[in-house]
């Protein structure tokens, strides 16, 4: 907050007619008009309780406070400003002079502002790259060069060196150090007759941004996030938020594209291809792509955090033949519900239980708990389908997740089963 804003808050608090939330609304309304970020309610409480950072700042006059309230309630008559992130209007608001001081700014390091005393030299990028990655993973931010940390004293930088800096060098380092490109911009601000260099980092288009090689103290695979006044390794909550937002955005984009195509092509002319089963299903019917051909046309899965656009279009040619397969919704659902073949089932049981579990043990489990259908055709309908199902096409049994969990539980709870010689 600026000293002027603190003065307004003191006056409003002294009047006793405005609650903290109402004061916060007035302050943030004007800040938005000026293109500035909102403050949180804790700042009002800090002024109210007399935090040290606001000592010496007097309450604004009633005249100035009334004018501020009028501006918040009727903003249309006030001057509009350029709200671009590196416009001079915004930068001057973000980095104001401290009231009564000729060489210090009225700022502090936040989740959007970091200060560096010098610019240039051999290692300046390495000293900033952690902050750059952290800002990109949050909502972006500003690195100000030419300010002393903690005191915010203006020491200045070489304006010509900053303004003539080859941005390609920074871009190359970022591209070879981080998992994706980072957009940035640079502007110079004049304060107290000295130049302050402002490097603005835009939020990354693809998050999370991670290090792909060791740079200074940042190791390969590290993900940094900008918190209040510091850059540190991302916490689980923020990482989960980024991943959920990534999935939501991707899902909305893909779904929107498919719906648009369906509406464009017409529902009767549209179908859905399952790349795993080869089933193409549409309103009027469907067909199956041959299993030998399916791997050749399956799309490449790039990786959890990378998507590529502009993939080549594939052309499917060949004869259409009658399929011996039966394309039915029930079969596909059954495959999902009973995913384990016998060999996979006993291996999964051994893995989860931490005990030796052989195919012979599996047969014993079938017999003891009557999980496998009888070979007698008349009794096949009596099988507990919670556990397994018989596939005529496979001429085999497949087992459900319920069966795996059931047997693992019996291994630890059923003494009779545990005492079996073959199991030991």
| 143 & 205 share domain | yes
> What's the pLDDT score for residue 176?
93
Which two structure tokens, joined as six digits, stand for 322?
Answer: 């009658």
pLDDT at 424: 45
User: Of 17-21, 161-165, 328-332, 392-396, which has the strongest mean pLDDT?
Assistant: 161-165
Whether residue 172 is predicted with pLDDT greater than 60 in this model: the reply is: yes
Residues 319 and 338 in one domain: no
pLDDT tops 80 at residue 310: no
- 117 & 222 share domain: yes
**Domain presence at residue 259:** no
The mean pLDDT value for 146-166 works out to: 93
Which tens digits make up the pLDDT trace of 373-401? 555 444 444 456 667 777 655 556 788 88
The share of the chain scoring above pLDDT 70, in percent, equals 79
User: How large is the average pLDDT for residues 32-55?
Assistant: 83
Domain-embedded: residue 177: yes
Round the average pLDDT of the chain to a whole number and report it.
81
Q: What is the mean pLDDT of residues 273-278?
A: 77
Whether 142 contacts 112, CB under 8 Å: yes
Beta-bridge partners for 104:
153
Q: Does the pLDDT of residue 403 top 80, yes or no? A: yes
Among the three residues 325, 346, 363, which one is the final residue of a domain in this structure?
Answer: 325
What pLDDT, in 10s, does the model give residues 103-115? 999 999 999 999 9
For residue 383, give every residue at least 6 positions away whose Cβ sits within 8 Å of its Cβ, in sequence order, or none: 370, 371, 372, 373, 374, 389, 390
Mean pLDDT over 5-21 rounds to 90
Bigger pLDDT: 353 or 95?
95
Which of 72-81, 226-235, 258-267, 366-375 comes out lowest in average pLDDT? Answer: 72-81
Residue 316, Cβ density class (10 Å: 0-12 exposed, 13-18 middle, ≥19 buried): exposed
pLDDT computed for residue 330 by the predictor = 38
In a domain, 41, yes or no: yes
**Number of domains present in the structure of the chain:** 4
pTM, whole model, 2 decimals?
A: 0.50
10 Å Cβ neighbour count for 110? 16
Residue 277: closest CA among 387, 400, 393: 393
Q: Looking at the structure, tell me whether residues 104 and 139 fall in a common domain.
A: yes
Q: Is the pLDDT of residue 237 over 90?
A: yes
The reply to whether omega before 273 is within 30° of 0 (cis) is no
The whole-number pLDDT of residue 148 equals 92
Task: Look at residue 173 in the predicted model and tell me its pLDDT.
Answer: 93
Here the contacts of 171-174 (C-beta below 8 Å, separation 24 or greater) are 173/125, 173/129, 174/129, 174/132
Q: Are residues 9 and 52 in the same domain?
A: yes
Q: Which domain holds residue 378?
A: 332-418
Look at the block and give the residue holding tokens 């900053």: 162
* 401-408: average pLDDT: 83
Burial class (CB in 10 A: 0-12, 13-18, 19+), 39: middle
Higher pLDDT, 336 or 345: 345
pLDDT at residue 142, as a whole number: 95
The radius of gyration of the chain's CA atoms, rounded to the nearest angstrom, is 33
The residue out of 281, 303, 325 marking a domain boundary is 325
End-to-end CA distance of the chain: 72
Q: Which band of pLDDT confidence, cut at 50, 70 and 90, is reported for residue 329?
A: very low
117 shares a domain with 133: yes
Q: Are residues 220 and 92 in the same domain?
A: yes
330-344, pLDDT tens digit by residue? 344 445 677 888 788
- Which CATH number covers residue 186? 3.30.950.30
């Amino acid at each position: 907050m600026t000293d002027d804003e603190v003065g307004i808050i003191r006056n409003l608090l002294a009047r006793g007619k405005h609650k903290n939330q109402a004061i916060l609304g007035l302050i943030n309304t004007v800040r938005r008009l000026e293109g500035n970020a909102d403050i949180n309610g804790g700042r009002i409480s800090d002024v109210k309780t007399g935090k040290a950072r606001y000592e010496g700042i007097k309450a604004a006059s009633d005249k100035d406070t009334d004018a501020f309230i009028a501006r918040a309630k009727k903003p249309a008559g006030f001057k509009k400003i350029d709200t671009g992130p590196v416009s001079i209007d915004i930068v001057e608001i973000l980095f104001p002079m401290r009231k009564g001081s000729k060489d210090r700014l009225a700022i502090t390091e936040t989740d959007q502002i970091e200060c560096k005393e010098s610019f240039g030299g051999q290692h300046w990028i390495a000293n900033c790259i952690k902050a750059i990655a952290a800002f990109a993973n949050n909502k972006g931010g500003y690195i100000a060069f030419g300010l002393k940390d903690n005191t915010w004293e203006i020491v200045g930088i070489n304006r010509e060196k900053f303004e003539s800096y080859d941005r390609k060098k920074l871009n190359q380092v970022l591209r070879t150090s981080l998992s994706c490109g980072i957009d940035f911009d640079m502007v110079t601000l004049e304060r107290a007759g000295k130049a302050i260099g402002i490097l603005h980092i835009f939020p990354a288009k693809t998050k999370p941004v991670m290090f792909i090689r060791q740079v200074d103290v940042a190791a390969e695979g590290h993900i940094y996030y900008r918190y209040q006044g510091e850059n540190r390794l991302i916490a689980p909550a923020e990482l989960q938020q980024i991943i959920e937002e990534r999935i939501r955005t991707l899902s909305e984009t893909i779904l929107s594209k498919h719906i648009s195509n369906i509406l464009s092509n017409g529902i009767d002319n549209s179908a859905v291809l399952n790349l795993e089963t080869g089933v193409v299903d549409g309103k009027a019917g469907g067909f199956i792509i041959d299993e030998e051909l399916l791997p050749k046309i399956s799309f490449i899965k790039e990786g959890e955090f990378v998507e590529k656009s502009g993939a080549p279009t594939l052309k499917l040619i060949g004869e259409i033949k009658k399929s011996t397969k039966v394309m039915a919704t029930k079969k596909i659902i059954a495959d999902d519900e009973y995913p384990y073949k016998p060999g996979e089932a006993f291996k999964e049981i051994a893995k989860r239980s931490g005990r030796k579990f052989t195919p012979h043990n599996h047969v014993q489990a079938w017999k003891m708990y009557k999980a496998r259908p009888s070979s007698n055709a008349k009794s096949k309908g009596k099988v507990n389908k919670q556990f397994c199902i018989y596939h005529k096409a496979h001429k085999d049994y497949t087992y459900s997740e319920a069966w795996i969990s059931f047997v693992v539980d019996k291994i630890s709870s059923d003494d009779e089963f545990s005492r079996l010689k073959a199991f030991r």
